[in-house]
């Protein structure tokens, strides 16, 4: 009775946490409430549910804390998405292990128990291996391009079919070995599922896998007949699904296109093979352009964060404002590596919240922008997404900076962006390229603007 009440308290905390996290004002409280609910749930489970092995459990928890907290504390803000992916993956693995352990503990399992066990093991394994691949992609330990194995599609289908077959066989024969094989098939399925997803779309895959882990946890709730696991897992599964859809919408893409688009896209590298001329300028040229402009738009991207140039860009903007230039930041919904990621990175550098503008605030008035400064961004200003139906990013909303009066493009090299697509904007006669490290260029620009 008291246990159920405590679980109810925890479940309510989780609902309030998700609610809080949906509004900027209460987000941090929301997270605290969630953590509090978790503490209540875990302590209740430990106090009322542990018959023996208590010390072992405490040791395992201590190890988990010793690994989890330093990892979460030390991760750079730019690497947060892949960290979330890893945490998600281990959660999925934990769910699969719980179901495996319970399968070996229970005598005489019923139909629903078997069904829930099979689902937990399968979804948990998919979530784990899929998350590991997304981590490797975002950490750039492997290529960020879509990976198309020869016969990858057939392999994925084979893994899917054998998963279903092993699941059914496990349920009919109640053979533990088959359940292990199912876990292995799930791991293969997760890898094959994420490999063809292209770099810029990986965050969507993470969000979807997050929802998967939620469902695995919910299914494990049926295995253990535990209402809290069902409620919390389902909450995450449902909200994660919605969130995945919202993210896909922000990129102007359908989920199916993101997950399976790579099987169709073959024209990626066909364009832009021939040598074309670009116009590059000096720091002084750009300083004059900026110093005497009325209206400047800064479009920051992930490259800005990698170069740790958030503070440098804020100082340059402050200097321009002193000269009476009106400046705003254009924040694309998927700037950085994840929706909202750039806002976090700029907030870290104390850029005032009010200066951050979204697509709909910027694009209608973009023709009155004198200079659009693109720093470390690429795909989010690529006119190909608007004009080129064959482009892999076609349909993604962009900042129409090619319609501004002039463009300054800060780049380290002519290397294409994260999606691996060539950018027509680089060859536009209105565009001035400023090569070099973003932080270095911005610092030099600041000095040059001061001397005007």
Partner 1 sequence: MIDLLTIFVLAVFVGFEVVSKVSTILHTPLMSGANAIHGVILVGAILITGSAESTLELVLGLLAVFLATVNVVGGFVVTDRMLEMFKK
- Site mask, partner 1, residues 69-88, x = CB under 8 A? x-xxx-x-x--xx-xx-xxx
To partner 1, the closest distance from the beta carbon of 204 in angstroms equals 10
At 329, is the secondary structure helix, strand, or coil? strand
* 269 secondary structure, DSSP code: T
Q: Is 28 in the site for partner 1 (CB under 8 A)?
A: yes
Question: Does residue 100 contact residue 121 with C-beta atoms inside 8 Å?
Answer: yes
Q: Residues 380 to 419: which contact partner 1 by CB under 8 A? A: none
Q: Is 9 in the site for partner 1 (CB under 8 A)?
A: no
Which CB atom, from 54 or from 294, has the smaller least distance to partner 1? 54
Q: Is 5 in the site for partner 1 (CB under 8 A)?
A: no
Residue 379 falls in the annotated catalytic set: yes
- For the chain, state the CA radius of gyration: 25
Options 247, 259, 362, 407; binder of partner 1; rule CB under 8 A: 247
Question: Does residue 365 contact residue 338 with C-beta atoms inside 8 Å?
Answer: no
Among 28, 19, 20, smallest CA distance to 347 is for: 28
Q: Is 318 in the site for partner 1 (CB under 8 A)?
A: no
To partner 1, the closest distance from the beta carbon of 77 in angstroms equals 8
Among 66, 423, 140, smallest CA distance to 278 is for: 423
Scored b (16 or more CB within 10 A) or e, 92-102 reads bbbbbbbbbeb
Options 217, 293, 396, 408; binder of partner 1; rule CB under 8 A: 217
- Site mask, partner 1, residues 94-133, x = CB under 8 A? xx-xx-xxx-xx------x---------------------
CA 241 to chain CA mean position, Å: 14
Which CB atom, from 99 or from 156, has the smaller least distance to partner 1? 99
Which CB atom, from 146 or from 240, has the smaller least distance to partner 1? 240
End-to-end CA, the chain: 75
Question: Does residue 191 contact residue 152 with C-beta atoms inside 8 Å?
Answer: no
109 C-beta neighbours (distance < 10 Å), count: 17
Q: Which of 379, 400, 402, 422 is catalytic?
A: 379
Which of these ranges, 181-189, 246-254, 369-377, 413-421, lies near partner 1 under the rule CB under 8 A? 246-254
Residues tagged active-site: 379
């Amino acid at each position: 009775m008291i246990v159920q009440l405590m679980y109810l308290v925890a479940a309510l905390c989780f609902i309030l946490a998700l609610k809080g996290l949906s509004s900027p004002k209460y987000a941090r409280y929301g997270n605290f409430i969630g953590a509090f609910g978790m503490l209540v749930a875990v302590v209740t489970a430990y106090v009322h549910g542990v018959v023996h092995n208590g010390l072992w459990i405490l040791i395992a928890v201590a190890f988990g804390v010793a690994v989890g907290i330093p990892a979460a504390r030390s991760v750079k803000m730019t690497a947060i998405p892949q960290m979330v992916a890893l945490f998600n993956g281990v959660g999925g693995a934990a769910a699969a292990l719980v179901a495996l352990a319970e399968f070996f503990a229970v005598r005489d399992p019923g139909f629903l128990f078997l069904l829930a066990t099979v689902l937990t093991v399968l979804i948990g394994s998919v979530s784990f291996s899929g998350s590991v691949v997304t981590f490797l992609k975002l950490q750039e330990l492997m290529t960020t391009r879509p990976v198309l194995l020869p016969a990858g599609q057939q392999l994925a289908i084979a893994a899917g079919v054998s998963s279903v077959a092993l699941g059914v066989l496990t349920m009919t024969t109640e053979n533990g070995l088959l359940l292990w094989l199912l876990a292995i098939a799930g791991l293969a399925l997760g890898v094959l599922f994420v490999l063809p997803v292209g770099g810029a779309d990986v965050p969507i895959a993470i969000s979807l896998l997050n929802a998967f882990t939620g469902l695995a946890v919910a299914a494990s709730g049926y295995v253990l007949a535990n209402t809290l696991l069902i409620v919390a897992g389902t909450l995450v599964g449902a909200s994660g699904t919605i969130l995945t859809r919202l993210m896909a919408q922000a990129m102007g893409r359908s989920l199916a296109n993101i997950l399976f688009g790579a099987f169709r896209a073959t024209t990626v590298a066909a364009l832009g093979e021939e040598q074309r001329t670009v116009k590059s300028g000096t720091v002084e040229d750009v300083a004059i352009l900026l110093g005497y402009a009325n209206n400047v738009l800064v479009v920051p991207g992930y490259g800005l964060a990698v170069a740790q140039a958030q503070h440098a860009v804020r100082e340059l903007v402050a200097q321009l404002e002193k000269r009476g230039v009106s400046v705003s930041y254009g924040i694309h919904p998927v700037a950085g590596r994840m929706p909202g990621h750039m806002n976090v990175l700029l907030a870290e550098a104390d850029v005032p919240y009010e200066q951050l503008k979204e697509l709909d605030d910027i694009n209608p008035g973009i023709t009155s922008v004198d200079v659009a400064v693109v720093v470390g961004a690429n795909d989010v200003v690529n006119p190909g997404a608007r004009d080129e139906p064959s482009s892999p990013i076609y349909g993604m909303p962009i900042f129409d900076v090619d319609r501004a009066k002039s463009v300054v493009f800060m780049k380290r090299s002519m290397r294409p962006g994260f999606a691996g697509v060539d950018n027509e904007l680089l060859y536009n006669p209105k565009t001035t390229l400023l090569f070099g490290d973003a932080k270095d260029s911005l610092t030099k620009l600041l000095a040059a603007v001061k001397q005007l």
